[in-house]
Structure 1
């Protein structure tokens, strides 16, 4: 088996990419994060600094500055050439991801490098086949907020090698100290295949006038011991991401329970995406 992962690349420094970069740097590994523009890179650096400063103030890490020294945020994908593992964490759009994987295949020089995707719904096979190394392409799906939630889904495609899966598991469990579960390469994987129909059902309940958003969420929190209600959770995930996952699930399985409700479609059209825009099912 190849040596363990030491040098990590992350593409995208939004909420998920920054979280992946943070936990990787906190584990002592060297991280290069690639963003699409200087403005996005500056926003990503600010996000990392804010999160790590907060972690230091709470005593979760000794020094935010020491962790930040292990992270470089760049705008040139070419700086990922020497990475042992690159995690893609860009927008949940199949064409954007396949374009990126084709570029990474040309850029990343190590013959053993793993190309991983943090996608929450797009089949890994579709990403692997646009590269010359589908045996080294795997889904490594983190959950938001990455520094807090311990779960990672490992999703090998039919062409992913056993060695790649083992190395990815070692990175997740040994290096990062997280817990991995295995999923077959089906849209939604384990968690979202169960979670998204539940969230969509809550949206349909609200849309029909059956109950208010507050009562739907209170019902699940107080009556089923959920940490937060499904509509608040949708706002946290992002309504655009919720819609994208629903569409991937519906495309794959053609089951009505996976179809995005009209209310969700209209809210996304209006830019009411949840916490990240200040308004979704609730106002923030």
Structure 2
């Protein structure tokens, strides 16, 4: 098992900055890399704001923000990963983009370095086979928002070695997370169960079974869910939900995973949920207004 003395994170978006935040707060030096400097600047500002919130609530000690930010180095050059013991890829949920990243990244890594993907649905065996280190490749799926959500799914590919699983499990636990092992089947455990439920809520909306408010209120009050399924879909990102459902549908061949046509229409319109300002709710108003 490798001792992770320096962690790399690829992608400064929502998941990447959250992983960097939690790792740095747990005492691990982090290298955060993105091809876009503006995304890095935004990520560091977000991490600082979230650490401020944690300090103000007393959930982390005074002074922890400065120490954590001091452990994060950011840049646009993959050569910054040369001394990392583990690199977590947290790019967009697109298999070809991820494989392209691995092609650029692997020559920069030391031979013994472990590579993990934060994919929420794409088969780990297939991704690992596209690298030069399938035995040191593993799925390490965090949940949004990373600083608050306690779960990490660890997914072993066909070639993944025991030492690789031990390395990422130990790191996740150091970061204060609870690890569950998931088999390498499309969407793993959580999204295999969650995404079809969200998709069914969208079918119910499309078919007029209920409007947005009725569906969300029904599940919050009738099933005691903290968020309604359409609100949660917006939070996840409708493009991400659509991608996961396509992986499920193609990987398992079962029509029950077919993405709802209404979901496809929202994605085509660029209505991706909270991150775009509009999805099943319009977030330009307070409170948000249903769009259907």
> Considering the TM-score relative to the shorter chain, is it more than 0.5?
yes
**CA–CA separation in structure 1 for the residues paired with 2:118 and 2:184:** 13
In structure 1, the gaps of 5 or more residues are none
Compute the RMSD of aligned alpha carbons. 1.0
Q: Deviations over 1:223-271 (max 9, x none)?
A: 1111111111100000000001011111101111211111111111111
Counterparts of 1:125 and 1:97, CA distance in 2: 13
Could you list the runs of 4 or more consecutive aligned residues of structure 1 that deviate by over 3 angstroms after TM superposition? none
Q: Is the 8 A contact 1:200 1:257 kept in 2?
A: no
CA distance in 2, matches of 1:149, 1:39: 26
**After alignment, is 72-81 or 21-30 more displaced?**
72-81
Partner of 2:198: 199
Give the paired residue count.
Answer: 281
Provide the rounded CA distance (Å) in 1 between the counterparts of 2:177 and 2:36.
31
Deviations 1:126-181 (A, max 9, x none): 211112210000000000010001000000101000111111111111x1121000
TM-score normalised by length of structure 2: 0.94
Give 1:216 shift.
Answer: 0.8
Is 1:82–2:78 an aligned residue pair? Answer: no
**Is the partner of 1:226 in helix, strand or coil?**
coil
Q: Is contact 1:87-1:117 (8 Å) kept?
A: yes
Secondary structure, counterpart of 1:139 in structure 2: strand
Q: Counterparts of 1:250 and 1:189 in 2: how far apart (Å)?
A: 13
Residue 86 (structure 2) pairs with residue 101 (structure 1): no
Could you tell me which residue of structure 2 aligns to residue 123 of structure 1? 123
Residue 135 (structure 1) aligns with = 135
Matched residue, 2:147: 147
What CA distance in whole angstroms lies between the structure 2 residues aligned with 1:198 and 1:276?
Answer: 21
Aligned to 1:70: 71
Q: Match of 1:163?
A: 163
Q: Which residue of 2 aligns with 1:172?
A: 172
Given that 1:86 and 1:116 are in contact with CA atoms closer than 8 Å, whether structure 2 keeps it comes out as yes
- Counterpart of 2:138 in 1: which secondary structure? strand
Q: Which residue matches 2:13?
A: 14
1:186 correspondence with 2:169: no
Q: Mark the runs of 5 or more structure 2 residues left unpaired by the alignment.
A: 284-292
Helix, strand or coil for the counterpart of 2:141? strand
Aligned to 2:236: 237
Task: Tell me by how many angstroms 1:102 deviates.
Answer: 2.1
How many angstroms apart in 2 are the aligned matches of 1:207 and 1:17? 33
What is the DSSP-based 3-state SS (H/G/I as helix, E as strand, rest coil) of the residue aligned with 2:74?
strand
TM-score (norm 1): 0.97
Deviation track 1:16-69 (CA, whole Å, cap 9, x = no partner) reads 001000000010010010011212221212221221122122122223222111
The equivalent residue for 2:227 is 228
SS in 2 for 1:220: helix
Q: Please give the alpha-carbon distance, in whole angstroms, between the structure 1 residues aligned to 2:38 and 2:276.
A: 18
Secondary structure of the 2:281 match is: coil
Q: SS state of the match for residue 272, structure 2?
A: coil
